[in-house]
Amino acid sequence: MQHNYRYKIMLMMVLMVIINYIDRGAISYAQKDIIEEFGFDAIAWGAVLGYFGYGYLFGALFGGILADKKGPKFVWIIIGIGWSVFVIATAFAGEIGMALFGGSALTGFAFIRILFGFAEGPTFSTINKTNANWATPKERGFAVSLGLLGTPLGALLTAPVAVGLLSITSWKVMFILLGSLGIIWVIAWSKMFTNLPEEHPKVSKEELEKIRSTKDLLPDEKLVGEHDDNIKWFHFFRNPTLVFNALGYFAFQYINFLLLTWTPKYLQDEFGFQLSALWYLGMIPWIGACFTVLLGGKISDYLRMKTGSLRIARSGLAVVSLLCTAICFIMIPTADTIVGVMVLMCIGNAFNSLPNSVYWSVIIDTEPSRAGTYGGITHFITNTATIIAPTLTGFLVVSYGYPSMFVAAAVASVIGMTAMLFVKPGQRKQKKIAV
């Protein structure tokens, strides 16, 4: 028996997200070789990067529903094997397109990236369902932020891992090795995880009491066990808090995916850096975010206990953070040096990641028994950014140059900030009172 086994579960999810992000971001560092081999231009390359999002948003939707119905363990195993297989298949995407889709390598990449995105889509809605099942009420913000730590950490490690592998082997072998790593994680995870802590022999009675304690609940919070069959998936759209929360999360994802997919090409085109320099330059935008994603969860939980207000703890933190994000990104085009650009990019992304846990905590605060389904719907709306950000950037860069992509990032932040002003966590649609 162990008193804090839930933390091992959370740390394994961090490792999984790191693998997940390296898998999705590695293609950006292989872009020079891929473009030269298949002759893509900037717009076509933006489309290649954006194809991931088409599968990702639908995977998020169906994965969240499946996590509620079949349990998160089933979903973890299916998606872990799925995305690993499609990472490996990326090595052969061009050949698949030329063989099966009328000689079009672009179609081959579209096909594989869509399937890869679909397999990765359920990741964060399933993390939310797992945290709803395993985290104590007073540590929900931190538990969510710990799971989300893998986002900036994985993005940070993508540069040295991808560049390191590309320096010793080909881009195709790189994808095969990365996919194999994901399969190893699935094997380890399947042996140590159960859907509920009640089902795990290593969870002590004391730890289970902490997880299911009602002592620290605020008046407008519920435990995961309080299930209401009358709450349907479409009720999500009747709750303004959940809808505006998804729009706020869109802003985070827009900037996150913009940096993940376009930073390497931006540095090569604007400053003439070679691949050998990208292993450390590609890390810089993510350094601060690795700290603020955890700090944000802690700050949110502290504000929750100190003020007794979920709106201050969740929405207030997000509004302030997104405002600071917008200011940083709107200043990037005015920077004259690479140092100035990278510092602003790092600080802006750090503010962007500060409320990352908020968007998922709002869902658990508001309807924990539907954390998977509502997390999936939220992620579906949010992940339109994984299509819009890289694709729109391709058009903006061709039409107006690279400064325009940072202006667009600032606009996305302002939209997200405005949406979060209307988020009231924990508040559901009120029943009509007969008079």
**Interval 352-372 mean pLDDT:** 85
Q: Is residue 148 part of a domain?
A: yes
Cα distance between residue 363 and residue 39, in whole Å: 44
pLDDT recorded at residue 429: 47
E strands, 304-402, are none
pLDDT recorded at residue 433: 37
Q: Is residue 229 part of a domain?
A: no
Q: Is residue 104 part of a domain?
A: yes
pTM for this prediction: 0.74
CATH code, domain with 67: 1.20.1250.20
pLDDT recorded at residue 219: 60
Instruction: Reduce the secondary structure of 164-220 to three states and give it as a string.
Output: HHHHHCCHHHHHHHHHHHHHHHHHHHHHHCCCCHHHCCCECHHHHHHHCCCCCCCCC
374-383 pLDDT, tens digit per residue, is: 888 888 898 8
Q: Worst-scoring range by mean pLDDT, 21-25, 44-48, 153-157, 190-194?
A: 44-48
**Interval 353-375 mean pLDDT:** 84
Q: Is residue 289 part of a domain?
A: yes
Total count of domains within the chain: 1
* DSSP secondary structure, 374-391, as one string: HHHHHHHHHTTHHHHHHH
Q: Is residue 402 part of a domain?
A: yes
Q: Is residue 222 part of a domain?
A: no
pLDDT of 367 over the 50 cut = yes
Q: Worst-scoring range by mean pLDDT, 120-134, 185-199, 235-249, 317-331?
A: 120-134
Q: Is residue 267 part of a domain?
A: yes
Q: Is residue 223 part of a domain?
A: no
Cα distance between residue 344 and residue 346, in whole Å: 5
pLDDT recorded at residue 236: 87
**What is the share, in percent, of the chain residues with pLDDT greater than 90?**
41
Domain of 369, in residue numbers:
5-198+236-420
pLDDT recorded at residue 430: 43
Amino acid symbol at 251: A
Higher-pLDDT residue of 282 and 83 is 83
**Interval 270-288 mean pLDDT:** 82
What average pLDDT does the chain have? 86
379-434 pLDDT, tens digit per residue, is: 889 888 888 888 898 889 989 999 999 999 999 999 999 999 999 987 554 444 34
89-117 pLDDT, tens digit per residue, is: 999 999 999 998 888 898 999 999 999 99
pLDDT of 302 over the 60 cut = yes
φ, ψ of residue 355 to 5 degrees: the values are -95, 20
pLDDT recorded at residue 1: 56
**Interval 360-380 mean pLDDT:** 82
**Interval 170-180 mean pLDDT:** 96
197-241 pLDDT, tens digit per residue, is: 999 988 888 888 888 877 766 665 555 555 555 667 778 898 899
Cα distance between residue 47 and residue 45, in whole Å: 5
